[in-house]
Structure 1
Amino acid sequence: MLSTTTRPVRGTGRKRSRRELLVAAGFLAPFLIILAIFQYAPVALLIKNSLFSYTLINPDLQTFVGLENFARIFSDPAALQTIGVTLIFAVGMVVLIIPLGFLLATYLNQPLPGRGILRTAVFLPVITSSVVVATLWNFLLANEGLVNAVLNSLGLGTASFLTDRALALPSIIIMSVWQQVGMAAILYLGGLQSIPGDVMEASVLDGAGGLKRTFLIVIPLLSRTTVMVVVIMTVFALQSFTPAYVMTQGAPGGTTNLLVYEIYKQAFTLQDPGFASALSVLLLVGAITISLIQMRLLRTRWDY
């Protein structure tokens, strides 16, 4: 009996692999080109500009200063204050949004009447223009605004929310939390709905109460969601611009002078785009570093 074996044709697998690579490259090429043009090229230009001193009026008259702009950041008290204010703003947002977002998601995860409308209402501020939100809160927190009207009706007097050094930064933190807590709630809601039902049923059969299930089962299983929420909210806070621009212009005394607003002022008001580029590079490196540290510290082994 003759046995026949099929021998692979030499080069067929190599040709197929090469053809698949060409097809993949064809699909990826438009995205990579757009990414290079609109992201990597501007970052490279930003790094290059941070090494020069010039003005936007005469951009061709550039003077190479090396790392002088970066050294100036750490020797300028105003720049150091801006960095500190931005970090406090970011920490305040994260500390408030995490528990509020989780509690709101837990509430929205229940079988409520009109649950879809409630979820939409919670998420609506997130997709609303930041300028509109900041303007609205500006009217609310003004000396003659609605909040002070309520305080006066209660006999508590008037509070200068946007002009008092002790109240201005907490005020814009609360405004930003109000706008972004819906994003955290939706992310946590997705995490809650992905927890296996048999895990919760087993905990009920084991006699675990509501609080015990929350702290020993739900929160650990939502660790990855928490990491994502922390990173997203931190990056959002670090690049926040509208509250300082619309509501306070960095006042009073620079206590609300967020880093992106300082970059805007240095580049377009003070005509120092080289220093503004150095601040931007610092912001980029800082945001990446802080995000990596957060993901490392909050890394979890829980899986489901």
Structure 2
Amino acid sequence: MTTLVTRDGGKATKKRARRVLLVASAFLAPFLILSIVFQYGPLLMLVRDSLFSYRLTNPDAREFVGLQNFIRAFTDPSTVQSLIVTLLFAIGVVILTVPLAFLLANFLNSKLPARGFVRTLIFLPVVTSAVVVATLWTFLLNNNGLFNSMLAMFGLGPFDFLTDKSLALPAIIVMSVWQQIGLATVMYLGGLQSIPGDVVEAATLDGASAFKRLITITIPLMSRTTVLVVVVMTVFALQSFAPAYVMTAGAPEGTTNTLVYHIYKTAFNLQQPGFASAISVILLVIAIVISLVQMRLLRTRWDY
């Protein structure tokens, strides 16, 4: 009798497991289908196209070239320059965004009047169209713009922020930081609010100053959040397109020609989608490798 009960119980457990699996599959199926159609499918097509040479005006006359597009990507001067520009752009965005967002999050985490309204103002540029933001900053940075008008009050300028080789890239870096700092601030703010209150209270009772609490408690416990912020900001910077497209068109002399904008020009202006696909695959690999390296280097032993 005991054996029969055990067998019946095992069959019932298997049936329940199958029902749970079917229900889970029904919920996951729409997401998986959309991912295959709009994400993994195009990615496989991108890898396939990177092995061919053809023109958009005549896609049927494609020629298999193997890895020649990838070899060309590392020997083409304009592609190499755009890769260097993109890496410099990403480094500038991360270096400026991370500390500023951390300080801003600490400020917003304090008791402020109308905190919700202030947080909304800071996050507003994030949800604003990148094209709109780039257009706005184009007006601000031109020779007759607000920045040059303010500098003229002190007898400075005018500066060619968008046409000077030494100023164009820093200008779009500042614009990108202004747009994305709200996202980084919100992530840091969530991390700050997750720090156990009893830890901070115990340090306060022990006589630790606000600066010492920041150094010994807040920063170590925010390491995981910092990893997330650095990775997200890096990926954002690597795929930046609107600033180069709207503000500078890659000028002057390619100093703002980011890799995604270079891919766009290669595919649609130069009519070389196969070569552009190869550059896109390289960019994807670079983004994955950089993200993995950052997560490895910033891995922390702190947990809470």
Q: TM-score, normalised by structure 2?
A: 0.97
Give 1:170's aligned residue.
170
Give 2:252's aligned residue.
252
Greater mean deviation of Cα atoms: 162-171 or 15-24 = 15-24
Give 1:7's aligned residue.
5
Note the C-alpha offset of 1:12: 2.2
Note the C-alpha offset of 1:27: 1.5
Note the C-alpha offset of 1:23: 1.8
Note if 1:217 corresponds to 2:217: yes
Give 1:300's aligned residue.
300
Q: Distance in 2 between matches of 1:223 and 1:60?
A: 52
- Against the structure 1 CA distance between its residues 4 and 173, is the aligned structure 2 distance closer, same or farther, given a 3 Å change threshold? closer
Note the C-alpha offset of 1:28: 1.1
Note the C-alpha offset of 1:19: 2.2
Give 1:96's aligned residue.
96
3-state DSSP class of the match of 1:140?
helix
Q: Distance in 2 between matches of 1:5 and 1:244?
A: 73
Give 1:185's aligned residue.
185
Stretches of structure 2 lacking an aligned partner (at least 5 in a row) = none
**Correspondence 1:14-163 to 2 at 5 A:** 14-163=14-163
- Against the structure 1 CA distance between its residues 207 and 65, is the aligned structure 2 distance closer, same or farther, given a 3 Å change threshold? same
Q: Distance in 2 between matches of 1:237 and 1:98?
A: 13
3-state DSSP class of the match of 2:295?
helix
Residue by residue over 1:94-144, the C-alpha shift from the partner in whole angstroms, topping out at 9 and shown as x without a partner, is 000000000100111111111111000000010011111101100010011
Q: Distance in 1 between matches of 2:36 and 2:274?
A: 22
Note the C-alpha offset of 1:4: 8.2
- How many residue pairs match? The answer is 302
Q: TM-score, normalised by structure 1?
A: 0.97
3-state DSSP class of the match of 2:132?
helix
Note the C-alpha offset of 1:5: 9.2
3-state DSSP class of the match of 2:58?
coil
- Against the structure 1 CA distance between its residues 5 and 174, is the aligned structure 2 distance closer, same or farther, given a 3 Å change threshold? same
Q: Distance in 2 between matches of 1:264 and 1:66?
A: 22
Note the C-alpha offset of 1:232: 0.5
Q: Distance in 1 between matches of 2:94 and 2:2?
A: 69
3-state DSSP class of the match of 1:134?
helix
